[in-house]
A and B are shown apart, each in its own frame.
Chain A
Amino acid sequence: MQRVIEVSKVSFAYTDAPVLEKVDLCVHQGDFLAVVGPNGGGKTTLLKLILGLLTPDSGEVRVFGRSPKNARARMGYVPQYADLQPGFPITVLQVALMGLPGSRLSGFTHTRKEKSLARQALARVGVADLERRRMDALSGGQRQRVLVARALASNPELLIFDEPTSNIDPHGKFCFYEMLAELGQDMTIVVVSHDLSVTAAKVSSVACVNHTLLHNSKPEFTPEMLTLLYGAHGHTCPMGEYIDSVSGVLATAPVLTQHDHAGREGHGHD
């Protein structure tokens, strides 16, 4: 199977304290990887290294066998909506168009072909009927779908999400996971989140990042991973019991999703 992302012995520090130390990760074609970890653990840094927004201090990142900067055309990126501005005059269609390279010579306008590609991407995530609405008139879940459409417009083979559900209500969150699972049938997906419920999105493997990285090629958390996330706790500590209970729940998470899926089909999406 083709290797999509290869991270080998990567270390990175913003100042003196290293954020990531000797991190290894390998993502194959068709994988659906969830990267979880506490805030400040280096998840977003890892993601920025893969996107080529940061350069590792040591080690190497390869995407589709090339340097991340040369693989940009094949990657789609969905950032957190929290970074975006309210009151920005832009419609849904224009946001989706932003995902296409676009020609500078055409100035303020887009070609018909570009518009049709953007509309296809919007339809794929189920927001085609919103194309004329302004971005700031949408709900958190709708906005997030538009940002996914923007990443999909250029037809990427790898889709990278940063905290995709942080602005979505709990119900919308599971609808969103369902959409991710559907997209995962056609492309490789990496989702970064501090929310462990992301594993309910039918992921194929999980990685835990907290300065170092542990990767499990099954959609389960190992006790070592949970120790990396929460630190070692004795059984007298309430955290220890919590870890035990969580590792039980999360191991069965994919089954939970199927129940959820069946229950919701009666009353449709969103």
Chain B
Amino acid sequence: MPVVKATAMTESLGFFLDSLSMGFMQNALFAALFSAVACGVIGSLVVVNRLVFLAGGVAHTAYGGVGLAFFLGTPVLPTTVGFTLAGSLAMGALTLTHRERSDTVIGVLWASGMALGVILLDLTPGYNVDLMSYLFGSILAVGTDDLYLMAGLNLIILVLVFFFYKDFLALSFDREFASARGAPVAFLHFLLLGLVALTVVMIIRVVGLILVIALVSIPPSLAGRHSSSLRAMMFFAVMWSLAFCLLGLFFSFVFNISSGAAIIAVAAMAYFLVISLGWLLRTLFRPHHQEEP
């Protein structure tokens, strides 16, 4: 029995590797790479700033943008980028001064963005099957135009994070010290939310807006466990999410399951495995938990 399974696995692997020569598959691989970079870099900032819930809110607000695009008949991804940016900046304005109340504000925008999307789609004549791909993602359906847009968004994200890296680090580590040193805290707050919006829209194509929150939080939190710097955390988070996307893609191929869910399932399993292993090692070698040098 195991032999049969192994053969089946090898066959699927062969089939998977064959499929890599096909256009849609190459698009999927590029999409995985681009989202991994955005997820790793921005996800790290999201995790250290404890904005995971906010990122989830931004992702669901994006559905309003999808609805708007279908309603107006405009290109989906650019319209969604615009709408989500506006939504996340609104969240930024509402959470800048009252950080303690931000969870309520995020909850409200989370649901209202979603509701707006549903209503706009109801009002749009005809029914578009493609809609499900925005909710649950479909990395295999990413077109070449989408890839160019994703590459462009990645470039923007990388340039801005490079330029403001020290400011983001100071802001994330110790907001009060950062403002006492004269860092443009309010500007950085909005900039970060804007970058979260861009990232979220990009990943929607890959795992869907409902599952975005996992890809933004799991790779960075795994990467942050032993990293000695924020930039190292970003790098390892990119590696983790690339691994999750590729493995998820492979499993979705082998078992004929949804790619978005497969990617998240791989990520979640890796997360629980690493957490339990870490706990086990700490319990076995108790006296001191040494950090990696």
Interface residues, chain A, CB within 8 Å of chain B?
A: 51-53, 69, 72, 75, 77, 79, 83-85, 87-91, 94-95, 98-99, 101-102, 104-105, 107-108, 132-134, 137, 150
Contacts and interface: CB of A to CB of B under 8 A. Distances in A.
Interface stretch (B103-111, B174-182, B189-197, B247-255): B174-182
B182 A98 contact: no
Contacts of B48: 85, 88-89
Given A85-B48, A94-B229, A98-B169, A77 B180 contact: yes
Given A72-B180, A89-B227, A94-B229, A108 B174 contact: no
Contacts of B233: 89
Given A89-B229, A99-B181, 13 more contacts: A53-B176, A53-B180, A72-B182, A84-B174, A89-B230, A91-B228, A91-B229, A94-B169, A98-B166, A98-B177, A104-B165, A132-B228, A133-B291
B231 A108 contact: yes
A230 to B, nearest CB: 29
Contact of A69 (B163, B182, B227): B182
Contact of B181 (A72, A84, A91, A133): A72
A90 B166 contact: no
A134 B291 contact: yes
Closest 7 CB pairs of A and B: A89-B227, A107-B162, A77-B180, A108-B231, A102-B166, A89-B233, A51-B180
Contacts of B230: 89-90
A107 B180 CA distance: 21
A90 B163 CA distance: 19
20 contacts: A77-B177, A79-B180, A85-B50, A88-B48, A89-B227, A89-B232, A89-B233, A90-B228, A90-B229, A95-B173, A98-B169, A98-B177, A99-B181, A102-B166, A104-B165, A104-B166, A105-B163, A107-B163, A137-B291, A150-B177
Contacts of A94: 169, 229
B144 interface: no
A70 B197 CA distance: 35
Contacts of B169: 90, 94, 98
Contacts of A88: 48, 172-173
A104 B228 contact: no
A212 B284 CA distance: 56
Nearest to A89: B227
B148 interface: no
Interface string B229-241: 1111100000000
